[in-house]
Amino acid sequence: MSSPILKLIAQRVALGIVLLLAVSVLIFAGTQILPGDVAQAILGQSATPESLANLREQLGLNQPAYIRYFHWLGGALTGDLGTAMSSGQDIATSIKGRLWNTLFLAFWAAVVAVPLAIILGLIAVRYRNGWVDKLISGLALASTSFPEFFIGYVLVFFFAVKYQWFPAISTVYDGMPFGERIQAIALPAAALTLVVLAHMMRMTRAAILNVMQSAYVETAELKGLSAFNVIRKHAFPNAIAPIINVVMLNLAYLIVGVVVVEVIFVYPGMGQYLVDHVTKRDVPVVQAVGLIFAAVYITLNIIADIGAIVANPRLRHPK
């Protein structure tokens, strides 16, 4: 690998870190603007002015915001995300399990969705404008157009209640056998797959169709390659950059955007954890989760960028 690529990658990573820092400022500022106050939220309706003052003092809410920011950032960089205000548990420990669950679900949804979307996209291109293409696009678009909770409930109704093939709730726990775990996440993974499928599939189709118009594809066709080989050898490698982009965007969605699906299937992941703590005004947890989500998003975007650069010689040597 040549050094310009390494330099580009280093640039992207550095840019990502700067971006993450900026996001951390935004997250911190945002949680400061949230209405209400943690002390008030913890004590609830039984709060008296004295107990409020005591608790604020105890939680360090009386310090100026910028001091609290650097304190928090320093902790986060060293892996210390603080303790949850509402339950007193260590945030890093509780997030670890939750994050692992979310990644587990996202991984299996992606394992199904990404190849499926790309293959369906390729098939759609091969039979473009025919009934196969229309059927694939129609079904995929329909599944995306339905809200996630609707797809979730439909899956539950048929596969959990009516036929009872899969459990209706996806509670997973430590020490659960792998097979059971896979069975438990089958329905939420299916729901997520249906939600992200169309975007990736349509993008694959569009990107490849775009290159199919170019002269070299025509040449390839003229030299007698079969339709699939034209797509595989000539069109796909040139269309890969936008495809990687959309795949990464959807992967990010699988991790940070699954709140609704997690709630419907009672899956103990990050989304549910975040929602619980937002309603409790548990600021340290909200900040920590926000930071992790931002990091996931930025990392995946960097990977998409780098992937696109590596795949496209024109981007490798910018003029």
From residue 242, alpha-carbon distances to 207, 277, 295, 311 in Å are: 7, 36, 22, 10
Considering the complex, state which of residue 199 and residue 277 has its C-beta at the smaller distance from another protein: 277
Q: Which residues of 87-126 are buried (b: 16+ CB within 10 A; e: fewer)?
A: eeeebbebbeebbebbbbbbebbbeebbeebbebbbbbbb
Residue 12's alpha-carbon distances to 64, 72, 240, 306, in angstroms, are 34, 26, 19, 8
Q: Which of 266, 276, 275, 269 is nearest to 156 (CA)?
A: 266
Token output for 231: 């797509």
- Measured from the CB atom, the residue of 41 and 225 that comes closer to another protein is 41
Among 168, 206, 295, 303, contact with another protein (rule: CB under 8 A): 168
Which residue stretches of 60-177 are H helix? 65-77, 91-126, 131-145, 148-155
- Shortest approach of another protein to residue 30 CB, angstroms? 16
- Told to check if 151 binds another protein by CB under 8 A, we report no
- Cβ distance to another protein smaller for residue 72 or 273: 273
Answer for which of 9, 182, 266, 295 binds another protein (CB under 8 A) is 266
In the complex, minimum distance from the CB of residue 253 to another protein, in angstroms, rounded to a whole number: 21
Identified binder of another protein from the candidate list 103, 276, 299, 312, rule CB under 8 A: 276
> For residues 169 and 171, what is the distance between their CA atoms, to the nearest angstrom?
6
CB of 275 to another protein, least distance (A): 9
The binder of another protein chosen from 28, 108, 236, 265 (CB under 8 A)? 265
Taking the least distance from each CB to another protein, the nearer of 35 and 64 is 35
Are 313 and 16 contacting, i.e. CB atoms less than 8 angstroms apart? no
Max Cα-Cα span within the chain: 85
- Pick the binder of another protein from 46, 78, 145, 213 (CB under 8 A): 46
Enumerate residues 77-96 that contact another protein by CB under 8 A. Answer: 84, 86-88, 94
Residues engaged in binding another protein (CB under 8 A): 35-36, 40, 43-46, 51, 84, 86-88, 94, 153, 156-157, 160-161, 164, 167-169, 171, 173, 263-266, 268, 272-273, 276-277, 279-280, 282
